[in-house]
Amino acid sequence: MVNYKEASGVITNEITSTLTNVNSNEIDHLIDQINKAEKVFFVGVGRVLLSLQSIAKRFAHLGVQTYVVGQITEPAMTDKDLLIVGSGSGETAFPLIIAKKAKELNATVAHIGANPNSSMSQYADVFVRLPISSNPESSEEVQSEQPMKSLFEQSLLLLGDAIALMIVRKENIELNSLWEFHANLE
């Protein structure tokens, strides 16, 4: 029988292994693009989309203009904007279509995924690799015991929080000042 402490230990160990093996230069490049962009758009599907929505909300707390593709108040994208695509495989149809359209609009595209050689690579200006394996033979990537793609979605969410913390520290943002951007109708 598996107990809670064992299961939660597996999850936290996998997330720690994943996040500590992300290339910090890739993160720095992504942060540069976030800071340059007038607006930052996010696209993904399923549980990845849920993680991206959380990241968009956190970045909005930092004063970044964020939009999730498809939301009713989504504005037009321009060549001054950034699209962040979340897709572990880099082969998911909807994000690929949106990335292609963003490139046609001369926007910058960043892909956060596990596969650097995916179809998304033809559109991505920035790639941040979460080293999660879909190949049990690979020793250079984190192997997950969790169902489906849980490790990717969890790591994506925490990667977004790590990036937000880096921005706060780099910009010397006073944490109490962030409340002006927090929802207040709740």
- For residue 140, the model assigns a pLDDT of 64
Q: What is the pTM of this model?
A: 0.92
pLDDT class of 165 with cuts at 50, 70, 90:
very high
Read off φ and ψ for residue 180, nearest 5 degrees.
Answer: -65, -20
Note if 38 is an active site residue: no
Reported confidence tier of residue 139, pLDDT bands at 50, 70, 90:
low
Q: Which domains are seen in the chain, by residue range?
A: 4-173 (3.40.50.10490)
Q: Is the pLDDT of residue 1 over 60?
A: no
C-alpha 50/C-alpha 57 separation (Å) is 11
* Catalytic site residue from 26, 153, 174, 186: 153
Reduce the secondary structure of 132-183 to three states and give it as a string: ECCCCCCCCCECCCCCCCHHHHHHHHHHHHHHHHHHHHHCCCCHHHHHHHCC
Of the given ranges (7-11, 85-89, 90-94), which has the lowest mean pLDDT? Answer: 7-11
CB of 148 closer than 8 Å to CB of 11? no
Bridge partners (DSSP) of residue 113 are: 129
